[in-house]
Amino acid sequence: MSQTGLNLTAITIFTVVMMSLLGPVLNISPVIPALGIFSLLGVATLDNFSFQGRGSTLLLDWFASFSAEHRDRVVRHEAGHFLVAHLLGIPITGYTLTAWEAFQQGQTGRGGVSFDCQELDAQVEQGAISAQLVDRYCKVWMAGIAAETLIYGKSEGGADDREKFGILWAQLHRPEAEGLQKLNWSAFQAKTLIQSHWSAYEALVAAMQKRAAVLECCDAIERTSSVSQAQ
């Protein structure tokens, strides 16, 4: 079962257990909690095997969307990816900020920034990935975590980003300890890039909050960067 499915299951089971405990007080039949657990397990299993956990992802993301801090974290996390990718010359093909937006575009998960990975995929297929390309993508993957850490002191997202790095690192057949060093170094480099282009980052966040098109977001970065350089 997906992690979101497990989270949803845990939350609902907790609710059902509380209903069972409070049932006698509130005159709730014990059959109701039992039916709730049975229904939940059935729906969660169907969602996991038939829909790859999309249903639970959508539901959890919908609950989380009521938090202004969560919405702000998401856009600032994704803006970190977007900005660093743009600065490093990696083409951005799109972005989504909610699971629903991702679902509408036929994507899995809770959304994010999409990149043109043809160059990376080609080198992986050839079995010869340049160190420079690895560095660029590692910085981009760690940029969301770096952005969150800069603003909130710690990151709540980034599990998928670390997973992408882990897959690439495994393909390189490099030591795990070296991979951890690479992650930390990439996070530091991404953090430095964001800090040195802070005005552009803030302009990008504002554009993404308005769901501006990719080209408009890139223009916001370029305009702000030009103004900063002129000053």
Domain identity same for 60 and 74: no
Question: What is the residue range of 9's domain?
Answer: 3-64
Specify the DSSP class assigned to residue 92.
E
Of 30, 1, 36, which Cα lies nearest the Cα of 15? 36
* 115 and 215 part of one domain: yes
Tell me: do 39 and 110 sit in the same domain: no
Instruction: Give the pLDDT of residue 17.
Output: 64
Helix (H) or strand (E) holding 93: strand 92-96
If you compute the radius of gyration of the chain from its CA atoms, what whole number of angstroms results? Answer: 21
Indicate whether 132 and 210 sit together in one domain: yes
Assess whether 187 and 90 both reside in one domain.
Answer: yes
- For residues 58 and 116, membership in a common domain is answered with no
Residue 112, H or E segment: strand 112-115
Total tally of structural domains belonging to the chain: 2
73/169 same-domain check: yes
Residue 150, burial from CB neighbour count under 10 angstroms (0-12, 13-18, 19+) = middle
Band (29; pLDDT cuts 50, 70, 90):
low
How far, in Å, are 2, 83, 118 from residue 205 at the CA level? Answer: 30, 10, 26
Could you tell me if 82 and 173 lie in one domain?
Answer: yes
Mean pLDDT taken over the chain: 79
Instruction: Note the pLDDT of residue 56.
Output: 54
What is the model's pTM? 0.73
> 14 with 36, same domain?
yes
Domain co-membership, 119 together with 134: yes
pLDDT in tens, 122-139: 888 887 888 899 999 999
Tokens describing residue 18? 């509380």
Same domain, 19 and 84: no
- In this predicted model, what pLDDT tens digit does every residue of 191-226 receive, in sequence order? 999 999 999 999 999 999 999 999 999 999 999 876
| Tokens at 120, concatenated | 């990376």
Does residue 153 sit in the same domain as residue 226? yes
